[in-house]
Amino acid sequence: MTSRAYPPRMMKRADAAYYCSLAPGKFIQEVASGRLSPPVTLGGEDHWDRGALDRDLDRLAGDVTDWRREQPGLAA
């Protein structure tokens, strides 16, 4: 992804993967598993919507359990 003040609203696969901090192959695996939203066709090419990815990542972050809660003496 080129340096910008903010990422574009619609991103091709490489940029969407970078946005999610994933290698392109791992990004596609997450899409195929349904954990990340599928692309939309725009201009005859697949693009991922930044807002949809943000919602997916927010949902996934909520699925993470804080291991510190289960450890005596550690504050979460």
Q: Provide the pLDDT for residue 6.
A: 75
19-64 confidence digits (pLDDT tens): 999 999 999 999 999 999 999 999 999 999 999 999 999 999 886 6
1-25 confidence digits (pLDDT tens): 556 677 899 999 999 999 999 999 9
Q: Provide the pLDDT for residue 72.
A: 72
Q: Provide the pLDDT for residue 62.
A: 84
DSSP codes joined into one string, 21-69: T--HHHHHHHHHHTSSPPPEEETTEEEEEHHHHHHHHHHHHHH---GGG
